[in-house]
Structure formats: C-alpha cells, structure tokens
Chains A and B, each alone.
Chain A
Amino acid sequence: MSFRTKLLFVVLLTIFASVSVVAYAVTHYTQAAFEAMDAERTEALVAQFKKEFVQRGEEIAHQAKNIAEANLTERMAIDLSRPNADQSLYVRDAVGTAQEHGLDYVEIVNYDGVLISSAQFPARVGYKNEWVTAVKDWNETPAFWKKEELPDGVSVSLSVVRTNNTVADKPLYIIGGHRLDKNFLASLVLPAGMRALIYTSLEPAFVATSLMGEKIDGEQAERFAPLVEQLQKQPQQMAQTIDWTRDPADAETFQAIPLLGRNKELLGIFFVGSSRKELVLLTRQILKIAGAVAAAALLVGLLVSFWVSARITKPVEELAEGAREVAGGRWDTRIDVRGRDEIGQLAKAFNHMTQTLAAQKERLVQTERVAAWRELARRLAHELRNPLFPMQITIENLQKARQLDAKQFLEVFNESTATLKAELANLNTIVGRFSDFSKMPAPQFVRVNVNEALRNAVRLFEPQFNEVGKPTITPELFLTEPLPDIDADPDLLHRAFQNLVLNALDAMPAGGTLTLRTSEQDGHVRIEVADTGKGLTPEECSRLFTPYYTTKLLGTGLGLAIVQSVVSDHHGTISVTSDEGRGTAFRIDLPQRQAGQNTKPRETVAESKSAPSTLAAASD
C-alpha cells in the first residue's frame, strides 16, 4: 500500500469517524429531545384530559344542582318527607329529568337512602343506597368515578351527588352522571395522532371486549392485557409503548390513567395513546439528512484528502523516483525543490547527495580506470615479459652462437628458433585471450535447461577428476528436477559454468569435492558451485570479479570476470561466500524469463549445444 493510499485511508477514516460521531450525537440528542417533547406533549394531553374530566364533573354537578333546585324536586322532597308518601308517583321522573338535563344517569334517592327513581335501572327502585346517606355534605364533593349497575351489566360513570335540602334533615339526593363509553370518548377533543381508549371491565381477568375506543379490534385489545393486569395490581399512572407491527412508526405510547372510585378501588382505565409515527418519521428524516451529510462529507473528504495527500506525497514520490533512478545508475538525477519544509530540505539534500555521488563516481571511475590501466599494463607487462625474457636470452644465445662452428650454431639456431616460435606462440595465445575478452558477444536467448547445461560443463572435466597422479576430485550434483527452463544464451552459459568448474578445480590442488546445486526461487533459478579448497579472504572475495585480478600464479584474472559478465548480460546476480580453509561457493540467480526478448524454442539449444564452444575457458 502506497504512502498516498495510506494517507488517503487515514484521512478518510478520520473524516468518517468524525461524521459518524457527529451524526450519532445529533440523532441521539435529537431523538432524546423529541422523546422528551413527546412525553411533555402526552403529559400535557393527560393533564388536559384530567382537566376535561374535572370540567365534565363540574358540568354534571351543575346539572345535578339544577335538578336538585328545581321546583318539581322541591315538591318531591316535601312530598316524600311525609309519612307513608306515595313513592310510586316519582318512579319515572328520573328518565325525563335525565333527558331534560342531558345526563346519562339520574337517580333520585330519598333521605333514607331508598331509591325513588332511576333513569338507568328503573327496576332497582325501592332499594336502598346507603353509601349516599353516609356523606353529610355532598354539595361540595366533586365528581367521582362510580360503578353503575345496569340491567345488562356494569358500567363506569362520572357522577355527582347533590342534595335538595328543602326539608330540614330529610334531604333528597340527586345522583347525576355520564356514562364512560364511546360517546364520552367521542366528545373528547383529541389532537392528530392521538386517541383515547377506555377499559371498563371490573372483572379480575382481562376482558378484551371491555376495551372501548375507535379502531380497536379484539386482537389489538389483547395487547393491553399486561398493562391492565399491571394496573390492577398497582393502580397508578404508567406508560407503555405497543408495537403494532414491525415498523416502529406504527407503534403507540399509551399513558394508562387508573380511574379510581371513591374508595380508591379501580373502576376503569383510561388510555391516552400517542402515535410514535411523527417521532419515528422525524428521526428517520434526521437520519437521512445525517446520512446524506455524512456521505457528502465523505465525498468532499475524499476529494480533499486526495488533493492533500497528492500534495503531500508528490515530493516524496519524486524523491522515491529519484532514488530509484540513482539506484538504476542515473547518478545525475535531480528533483524539484518546492518549499522550505522538511520535504523541501529532504529534496535539497537528495540533490546534493546525488551531485556528490556523481562526482565521487566520476572520481572513482577515473581512479578505477587508472587502476585498471595500471593493472592491465602490469598484467601485460608480466604476461609479455615471460615470453620476452626467453626470447631475449635466445637471441643473445644466437648472437653468441655466431662464434661457434656451423654445426653447433645450427644446433643452437634450431633450438633458438624453436624457442622463439614457442614464445611467439605463447605471446599469440596471451594476445588471443585478451582479444577474446574484448570480444564478448551479446547473448542470444533461447530456452535452456540449466541442469543439462551444468551436466555438460561437468562432463568436460570428467577426465581431470580422476587424473592419474593427481588427487581425486569428487563431483556431487544436487539438481532439482524438474527445473523450469530459462531464457539464456547456451554458449555463454556453458562458458560461464566451465569457468566456474575450472576455477573450482584450480582451487582444490589437493583434491576435494565439487558440489553443484540447482533450485527454483521466486521466478529465478539458483545455481550454486562450491569447492572444498582453501577458501578466500574477504578482501580477495571483494576483488574476485575484477578483470585481470587473480590469486593464481598463471591466471589472467579474466575467468570470473567473464562469468560475471555473462550473469550480468542475463540480468542475474552472482555472489560468493567463502570460509577460509573450508572452501568457496558461488551463487548465481538467473531470471526464468528475459523481459522484451523473443526467445527461440528449446530445439535450437540442442543444436547450439552440440557445437562445442569456440571460446576457450579462461582460467585464472
């Protein structure tokens, strides 16, 4: 992953995390705020309903008071206060009174508690209502919830008791009430998204049909069972959210208000339902907006971070590219210096470094060139001196032989010319070797089996391994099979392997083991050639591939230079490791494929292999 990608990723991650945190915080606090608002709204509505109940109670009280103060009621009170009064006269009065005053329930109770007339349950006339006479002053008592016995069951009413006190000590009680039913619910003013339900069953178990309200069916009613049962155990106001469907927008929060009678007994439950749709939709809207903002922020962040990272990483990339060019040999690489920040200083230092390196390289090249020339001159002088010295002696012998007789002269002459020829041939050989090195050809790549090439190279030296009178050298081959073919010039490769084997043989004058090993590694083929000779010093190792450098008395110093040249032309690498006294090992890594080369098929290799190399292996 590039630096730019990393930087981009880090910046994006930072932006995403920031936006997420902000979005979450906004959503959370907004939702909490809306929840609080919703709770406040519901509380306000509940308070409104309670106020409405009080108002309804006052209206009922007003009507009950009107009834109690009516002339007919006064006459009734006077009449009923008499001994043996005919109570049947008033049996039906409550019905008409209820209709006149718009009340659902009206009951007239005599001073002794006997029910004189009942609008809702006329059949109960004549029975006593002792709870009525138990209270001394009803006129100051507000409306209360009351269980109403009806012919077809029991209901709950908001009732008020007022008295007519026309006859002292014999009040006539007027009980007026409104039934708590659907009509009562319908008369409540409900804001949008809210509804009211009433549960009026007085049974211990939940009765779904006793839950009244609009848009409520039996299945939905059953969902209220836990809340009702909870309130039956503990009659206090509580709230619960009911999820009607999987969609949270369909959920409703119900405030359950227990309706308690005068003796604090639970008579019913009033449910104020608040739809969560508005809240959920609002939350979703906020989430959508937060999502859109986050996406936009991410997009902007992506662009900005891309621009920023590009701006930050471009000089670094230029530095990296410059370094790569320097590594590739372009010592004169220069990069633009922008700004005076650390990157700019780094670029400036880089340019200074390359400038210094180039100068040093130039000096090194010149030094090496001089050294090479000197070495070449030394080698040439050394090589040429060897034959020249015998030739000089021979010529001097010839000059001296002019003093001898013809026979002796002829003998000397023949010997001298033979020697001169031999030395001249020797000179010619030396010159040829130098000439060959200068004429290293460009490789012609074909598919080559490295194992086969190694075997061919070793096979050439088999007579020398067991040469009579010399210590034995044991070749050991550890060749990986199958080994993929590589793109290589078989002649050059053969020549390099010959030089390595020859070099190993020279390193083991006392005999030993020649080890050859091949393996495949990451698209390369590795060749190892090791001997068990006396080894090299580190200084010798560092100079081993320098042309004309040799540790041998009769070496030209070109063998390993040729090997390195071949390996280099094949875009491979060669290294040497040596333990003094234990031996030396050369390791060559060659790529399996040569980029941009039109490689010939392997068959041509066999032909070239069949032809022996025209180049003699240079021994150092």
Chain B
Amino acid sequence: MESETDERMGALVYDRLVALDNYGKFQPQLATEWSHDAAFKRWQFMLRANVKFSDGTALSNGDVVAALQPLLPDGQQISASGNNVVIQSSAAMPDLLEELASGRFFVFRVQPDGTLMGTGPFFVTQSATASRGPSNSTNPAGDSNLATSSTNLNKMTHLRFRANEETWSGRPFVDAIDVTLGVPALRQLFDLQLGKAELVELSPELVRRATQDNQRVWSSAPVTFYGLRFDEAQAAAADANLREALSFSLDRQTMANVLLQKQAEPASALLPQWLSGYAFLFTMETNIERAKEIRATLPANLAAGNAPLRLRVDATGDLAKLLGERVAVNARQAGILVQVVNRAASHTTTTASDPAAGAHLFSWHYSSLSPRVELESMVSTFNMGNANEAAVSAIDPEQLYAREKKLLEDRHVLPLVALPEYVGLGQKVRDWMPARWGEWRLADVWLDLQEPNTAQPVNPNGAETPATSPAAASPGAKP
C-alpha cells in the first residue's frame, strides 16, 4: 500500500496538469486548457499563469517538462512551447488525460538538496521517524521527498504539512496536517475513537467494529485487487487442468461475504466494474464437483498430492494470509493439496518470483484512471499471458475486454476479491469529499471545532499524533 500512500501524500504537496472530478469530468489544474489532434498523437496543454512553488518561485513550463518526462511511458515525449507543454507520441494517446489525472503524474521541482518542491495546497515542514520499540530515533527535520519516500513498516514516520499560502488553488482550510505513517491498524481505530486522530485508514476487518462503535466510515470503490497468479516455470503450476480445477474450487462469495465480512467484493475480472465498465460480463463459477472431476484427470504425482502446489502469499497483511489459507482450504475440498507459504515482507507490485512457489497470492492497487494502462501495467508487472501478444493501445472497450478475457480464460491469473478503501472519520471532519477511486482531497476539508477562536493545531505535539492518515488542524479561511 505504499504507492497509494505516496500518491496520497503527494497530492497534498503537488499538483497534476488535470484532475478528474466525481462526475467524471476533467478539471483544470496546472493546465487550464488542452487540445489534441485527431489521431490523439499530439496533446497541447496551456499552463496556468502565476503558479508559484511553496518557496514563492514561479512555475515554468521547463519544470513541467522536467517533472513529467521521466514519468511518461516510453514513446511519449513532452516538450515546452511558449506557455504550453506538448506531449507527442507515435502511437495514439486517447486516454492521456486519464493517465495524467491519476498516479504519480505530479509536477514538482527538484531542489539543489535533492528534495522536491510542489505547488500544491500544503508543504512539508518537518518529518521524523520513530521506532516502535523502546529506543526512538529521530531524523533531522526538513522537507521530505514525498514522491519517492516509502513507509517503513517497522517504524512510524511522522510528517507535518503546513498550508501553502501561495497556492494557486487558494489556501486550504486547515493550517497544518500531522501525518503518522506505520501505525498499527487497531491503534489507528483507537486513536480515532479517542479523538487523537481525525482521519484514519481502516483495514477491512476493523470496518465492522468501527461501524458498531458508531464511527464515521467512508469507503471507496474497490481499488485493491487480490488474485492468484501462477508461475508456469514450476511444474505444479504449469498444468492447465490443475489451474482450472483450482479455479472451480475457489469460493469467492464466502471469501468476500464471510471471511471479509462483506467488506470486499468477489472478483471475476482483473479490472473493476467502475474502471472498465465490462467487468460484469465475467463470471467465476464455484463448482467443487467439477473441480474434483478435473483433478481426477491430473497426472499421478499431482493427483496423489505428492507434489503440493506451493502458494506464496506475496501480499502483506493478515487479510492476504487469510485469503491464502482459504484458497488452500477450498483446494483441499477438491482434493488439491496447496501449501501456503507466507512471505515476511513483500511489495505490492513485486516481480520477484520464488522459484519454489508455483502460485502467488498478490494484491494490486488501481492507481490509474485508464483501464488500458491498469491492465497493461498489471500484465507487464506480473508477466501474465503470452509475451508475443500485443498490448492494447486503444481505449476501445471491446479490445480491452478481449484482452482481459483471454488472460482469464488461460487462467494465468485467478481473481479472488476486490477491496474498497476504508477511511474512519472523526466527528469534527467536514466536507470530506474524496474521489470515488480513493483520492483524498484534504484541501477541502475543515474541522468543526467547538471554539472557533482556537487557532492552534489540535495536537501541538504533532509528533505524537498516531495516525497513518492526516490529522486535524484548525479551520482556516477558504479563499
């Protein structure tokens, strides 16, 4: 989950060229106007005038080019032209706006000391890393490279964001946001209940508890995908019949509705319905008897369970482990022996493959608003499907559907469940209007304090604010 956290923190400090609102319309950000040619191969963005970085220096088209060029895919080139920037490619870029409105397509300037400076509503004033153990260590305060920082699970990183008075979008309501990363899930809930945090991430297993405790809980569209992928270099995973039998044995409904207490959706497709629009066309049938029949056709060593299928849980967290164990239980119902191997530490988008594991349980966070980009990114990251198949370059839903259908029919990857993102909100939080795909918009949030004259942060000792999400500040004036 580090990438979405980075993006979430990045959205506090940096701006994109365009943004997508809750109604599906692109809104100007650093670019006020944009146009493209008929073939979608050349896009021109007119930059907003008088945009300043947090240090007061003006944004130039050179800054935009320097920031976005490394982030654009190969073949796309960005150049400056007057007050405009132009992105060109030999291939059509029909969904360029979706790309630029999501993910890490932030505009920033690299300072001489290596830190990044943005034009967003906040800027970082200090950061500190505290060990969870008895001996704490504190890093020197200063601006943090948010675009490249990652959460250290063994440490709690404390960040303080202050309102940027010079931002082009107007000063945010809150003066400052204290963010603590790496706080255990249950403690986050306790902090929320005790008023030590105004906004926390909620793990799915705690949502019901938070709801029962009358906490405000917001959920996004399903943004995290859990699935099984197979390493066909392993003999146990190379057999298509085994994969099919395993697929039939999986009870996704129980996973989503019982194990995950209805906090997840059974996944039949790689991309969610809200992103692709065609996910409802895919179904994943659970049929134990059919699974047993197929298993009976397996080679003797697989059928006898002499060579169990090793399933490594690449995704972190108890939820992934639980899903992995459930897969093993389901598979055993069909007579397929699956041995679950938990991984101590993992990265969501890791490509490292365990040569001893034939299957991997992975998670995928949808970070782009372009279904094509998401699908191709997932395929390339996990080396799914046939390498000779050409990537989909168009935004034609039929092509995307065909591409995804082929992947699912080959059962190189088996969808399990898709989880929304859950956020616990304090009682004082107002105007919480995040994007449906999980992008927080903290610049619009304000706090309903009992004494409006109080202009100090809720917790002056910000370093002690335990939350993985932004915490409160005093209300400010919306420009």
Please report A residues at the B interface, Cβ cutoff 8 Å.
Answer: 86-89, 91-92, 121-127, 151-152
Contacts and interface: CB of A to CB of B under 8 A. Distances in A.
A125 B322 CA distance: 11
19 contacts: A88-B257, A88-B258, A88-B260, A88-B262, A89-B208, A89-B261, A92-B205, A92-B261, A122-B322, A122-B325, A123-B323, A123-B328, A124-B329, A126-B251, A126-B254, A126-B258, A127-B329, A127-B333, A151-B321
B259 interface: yes
Given A89-B208, A92-B205, A123 B258 contact: no
Contacts of B326: 123
A88 B340 CA distance: 24
B354 to A, nearest CB: 17
B94 to A, nearest CB: 42
A123 B261 contact: no
Contact of B261 (A88, A127, A152): A88
Given A92-B205, A127-B329, A127-B333, 14 more contacts: A86-B262, A88-B258, A121-B325, A122-B259, A122-B322, A122-B325, A123-B325, A123-B329, A125-B258, A126-B251, A151-B321, A151-B325, A151-B328, A152-B340
Contacts of A91: 258-259, 261
Interface string B313-330: 000000001110110110
Greatest chain B CB density within 10 A among A87, A92, A126, A127 is at A126
Interface in B184-241: 205, 208
B325 A87 contact: no
B52 to A, nearest CB: 50
B328 A125 contact: no
Interface string B239-274: 000000000000100100111111000000000000
A151 B328 CA distance: 8
B152 to A, nearest CB: 27
A98 to B, nearest CB: 15
B259 A123 contact: yes
B353 to A, nearest CB: 22
Contacts of B329: 123-124, 127
Contacts of B325: 121-123, 151
A87 B321 CA distance: 21
A110 to B, nearest CB: 12
B185 to A, nearest CB: 13
Nearest to B333: A127
Nearest to A121: B325
A102 B262 CA distance: 29
A152 to B, nearest CB: 8
Given A123-B322, A151-B325, A87 B340 contact: no
A84 to B, nearest CB: 12
The 8 closest A-B pairs by CB, nearest first: A123-B325, A123-B326, A151-B325, A88-B258, A88-B261, A126-B254, A123-B329, A126-B258
Nearest to B325: A123
Contacts of A127: 329, 333
A88 B321 CA distance: 18
Contacts of B262: 86, 88
Contacts of A86: 262
A125 B205 CA distance: 15
A125 B257 CA distance: 11
Contacts of A89: 208, 261
Contacts of B260: 88
Nearest to A122: B322
Nearest to A123: B325
Nearest to B262: A88
Interface in B283-301: none
Given A122-B325, A123-B328, A151 B259 contact: no
Greatest chain A CB density within 10 A among B254, B333, B340 is at B254
A152 B323 CA distance: 14
A278 to B, nearest CB: 44
